[in-house]
Structure 1
Amino acid sequence: MKLIVHYNRHNFFILTLLFILFGIASYKLTKNVLLNELDESLEDAMDRVNGYVQTYHALPAPTTYDNLLISTEPVSHPVDKPYLTYVNGDITVKGKKHIGRTLTFSVSLGRQYYNIIISRPLEGIKHITKAVMLITMTMILLLIVVLALVNRFVVSRLWRPFYGTLNSLKNFRLNNTDAVEFKKSNIEEFSIMNEHLQLVTSNATKEYHLLKEFTENASHEFQTPLAIIRSKLDVLIQQDNFTEEQTAVLAEAYSAVTRLSGLSQSLLLLTKIENNQFSDQREIPLHDVLQQKVSQFEEIWKDSDISYSLQVYPSFVKMNADLLDILLNNLFSNATRHNRPGGVIHISLDNTSVHIANTGAYEALDGEKVFFRFYKSAVNNAYNGLGLSIVRQICIVSHLSPAYEYKNGLHYFSFHWQ
């Protein structure tokens, strides 16, 4: 979920909650203000009635004026103090019953006490409250809509430099000699972020080139003394004045030097693949390449008493041609090296996958570790364990999905793409 979407969801929830709370508060406040005004008008009317009684020594006639209803009734005991009450349907205005507010107080004429009741309907207050409520809620709703539009367009525009930076990072490659460029922003936080990212990518590129140079130099320097040692061992092995025990020791040393040379070359190849030095990719007719590779290994399989089958359909894969050749060489060599006399190799190709199955060990390999560096099965540990690791790294940079399975006495290596 994008940050702006997450922000808008929280913002919408908060605004909706505020809309409801403001609506309730607006209704309550408006109603209370209007009720206070109504009560004050009733108290003003009470003062006028008291003044009339004191001036004319008579009760005001029951009347309806300005929605004020005044009525009197004789009582034996006066009320202690004026009080306000609600009445429901007892106030008649223009022939209609209304709920209202009444003020009751007592006056005396001679020795007789009278209760005077002044009433006013709440109909006007209801209409005014509804009108004020509608206007207030409409304004708040319009404010929420405006804020939502501002968040959608203005905030989205503010985040454009951030997404521009992400696109620049997406296109960043360590083996690219050109420094990554970030667009300038007048927003301080984005500007600081771009400065730090510029520094990080620059340092990463420098360290990559230093590591690449060191790896290549180290591999080259290793090969020279290894070649010298191997040539000297060749000369010693060809001499006749060694015992069998000495000859066996020399053979072991020669084998170790050969393995060390192969290990150095394999590690260098892995480093090159991991550093994406085989970036050139194109559509390759895999069916043709497989047939050519089988013809190269055909004589080896014949000498090793290994039979094979090949079933291919026209299929294309997008990857680097050199990496494809390394991939197939390692897979075919692996299927040959770990096979047995009288064994078989089955190769099949369809539109989106290639499968290579071979006989070999009578037990399954560790499917979770078989493609990892320096993994060796208990059956055969005479090799450096980098072949399938190289295959795995090629699959990563070429967007292939490798898989291993053991069934029906065969080790299946499958590779899928889309």
Structure 2
Amino acid sequence: MKLSERYNRVNLIATIVIMLITGAIYYLAISVILTNQIDKSLEVEEHEAFDYVKLNHRLPQVFESKDQQITFTPAEPNSVKREFINTGYYREKGASEAGRGLISSVTVNGRYYKLQIVESKVETEYLIQIIFGITIGVILLLLLVLLITNRLILSRLWQPFYSILGELKQFKVTDNSDIAPLNSPIDEFNDLHQEVTAMAERVKRDYKDLKTFTENASHELLTPIAVINSKLDTLIQTENFSPQQSKLLGDLYGAVSRLSRLNQSLLLLVKIENKLLTDQQTINLKELIEELLYQLEDIFSDKQITVSANFEDKEITASRYLIDILLNNLIINAVRHNHQGGGIIVNLTAEALVVKNTGESMPLDNERIFTRFHKSSSSEGSGLGLTISKQICESLGYQLGYSYEAAHHCFVVRF
């Protein structure tokens, strides 16, 4: 969930709760105010009755009015407590409705009477309902306006943040382009942009230093490795060795060969990242793969691997050297990590090249498989093959992905 949506949701819920509480308080306040207004009207009627008795020494004439009833009932002296009550208002036809009453007492010529004045609350409650309905309508309108305003304002307010986020998503350490400048009236977004820009510069600088070190180290290793290989060749040709000495020399020769391949792989990575291999030519990918599979037939036979191939014509424009390395890495990798009597499936379409192979029954770590020097414990490779393949695809604008489907490890190059 996006931050703006989360904020809108929390803000909307909080506003609804506050509005409901405020509406309830407002309803009660209006009810109390209008009830007090009725009470004052009842007191006026009470005072008029008192004034009439005081002046005429008799009870006033009682008559029915539209919304008010007055009754005098004989009672025991001092038995009536003056109070306001909520009661029913009964009309002539027996219909009952809500009413508000005042109970009091009056003494006329030494006789004690209970005075009850009842006034209908229908109009008051109707007025309260109208006021409450209008209030609810205003609240709903305010909520709608608030929701629309928040959505519009927040989308503009958070635009700098999403711009920075977009730059981070597109950031590549090998790309020479800088993060686009940001001019925002909000200090926090400007501070965030400055820190992101500084971080990107540090990462690129550190990557450049590491790349330079790798390049220099690889070049410096070329001569010692060549000298060691030459001396080993000379030593093997000039002496007679015991079986133990021959085994030691073979191990040493194999170790130097692996070191040489590793150095060549590092140099190749540097060349790819620096875009030094710029030779471009039109390549028929179908013919190239068929040729490679033909060259590897003996290896397939040794491991009793069954190869299933389905090719469509596909021409690309790229470096022949890099495409050879890419295809060799993917197919040799499928052979190396296969089991005896396994299978390899190679499919080529206009959209993608798919290489599938049987092997371990568990999927590989998708997050680490293309990182440098990552390899299984049983692998004898340098751990750079898939890294180089990934770099080649990225330099050509292709996408290399991995998945595990139906007991097959699947590598897909999307053009």
Provide the TM-score with structure 2 as the length reference: 0.80
Are residues 211 and 186 of structure 1, via their aligned partners in 2, closer, same or farther at CA, if it must alter by over 3 Å? Answer: same
The residue number in structure 1 matching 2:226 is 227
The residue identity in structure 1 corresponding to 2:144 is V
1:73-152 pair list within 5 angstroms: 73-91=73-91, 97-152=96-151
Tell me, yes or no, if structure 1 residue 415 matches structure 2 residue 411: yes
**2: distance between equivalents of 1:73 and 1:45?**
16
Q: CA RMSD in A?
A: 4.1
Paired position in structure 2 for 1:193: 192
How big is each residue's C-alpha offset from its partner over 1:212-252, in whole Å with a ceiling of 9 and x where there is no partner?
11111111111111111111222222214656654554343
2:235 aligned partner = 236
Alignment of 1:358-373 (within 5 A): 364=360, 368=364, 373=374
C-alpha separation between the residues in 1 aligned to 2:275 and 2:374?
20
Secondary structure at 1:219 match in 2: helix
Structure 2 Cα separation of the partners of residues 87 and 193 of structure 1: 67
Map 1:7-406 → 2, pairs under 5 A: 7-64=7-64, 67-91=67-91, 97-240=96-239, 246-269=245-268, 286-297=285-296, 309=307, 311-314=309-312, 324-334=323-333, 346-349=344-347, 351=349, 354-355=354-355, 357=357, 364=360, 368=364, 373-377=374-378, 383-386=380-383, 389-390=386-387, 393=390, 398-402=398-402
The residue type equivalent to 2:346 in the other structure is S
Deviation at 1:348, TM superposition (A): 3.2
Alpha-carbon distance between aligned partners in 2 of 1:279 and 1:181, rounded to the nearest angstrom: 29
Q: Which amino acid is the alignment partner of residue 374 of structure 2? A: R
Query: What per-residue deviation string (whole Å, max 9, x for no partner) do you get for residues 247-295 of structure 1?
Result: 554343222211211122334556777x696999999864333123234
Q: Secondary structure at the match of 1:102?
A: strand
**Residue 107 of structure 1 contacts residue 113 of structure 1 at CA under 8 Å; is this kept in 2?**
yes
- Structure 2's unaligned 5+ residue stretches are none
In structure 2, the CA distance between the partners of 1:316 and 1:77, relative to structure 1 (3 Å rule), is farther
Q: Which moved more, 1:155-164 or 1:263-272?
A: 263-272
Structure 1 residue 345: deviation in Å? 7.1
Q: Secondary structure at the match of 2:98?
A: strand
Give the drift of 1:162.
0.9
Measure the CA separation in 2 of the matches of 1:39 and 1:302: 104
Deviation at residue 56 of structure 1 after TM alignment: 1.9
Aligned-partner residue type, residue 414 of structure 1: C
Q: CA deviation at 1:104?
A: 1.9
Q: What is the number of residues matched between the two proteins?
A: 402
**What is the CA distance between 1:128 and its match in structure 2?**
1.6
How has the CA–CA distance of structure 1 residues 332 and 138 changed in structure 2, closer, same or farther, with 3 Å as cutoff? closer
Conserved? CA contact 1:85–1:102, under 8 Å: yes
Query: Greater shift after overlay, 186-195 or 160-169?
Result: 160-169
Deviates more, 1:82-91 or 1:121-130: 82-91
How many Å separate the matches in 1 of 2:84 and 2:116?
10
CA distance in 1, matches of 2:122, 2:337: 98
Equivalent residues of 2:262, 2:382 under 8 A apart: no
Distance in structure 1 (CA, Å) of the matches to 2:135 and 2:282: 66
AA of the residue aligned to 2:221: F
- Shift, 1:306, TM fit: 7.6
Asked if the contact 1:174–1:208 (Cα under 8 Å) also holds between the matched residues in 2, the reply is yes
| 8 A contact 2:89–2:120 mirrored in 1 | no
Partner of 2:206: helix, strand, or coil? helix
Deviations 1:347-392 (A, max 9, x none): 531545534558xxxx958754795724243xxx6x3452655477
Shift of 1:75: 2.9
Worse overlay, 275-284 or 186-195: 275-284
The alignment partner of 1:100 has SS state of strand
**Contact kept? 2:86, 2:99, Cα under 8 Å:** yes
Change (3 A) 1:279 1:110: farther
Larger displacement relative to structure 2 (172-181 or 116-125):
172-181
Q: Which stretch of structure 1 is more off in the superposition, 254-263 or 331-340?
A: 331-340
Check conservation: 1:62, 1:70, Cα contact below 8 A.
Answer: yes
Mapped partners of 1:279, 1:180: distance in 2? 27
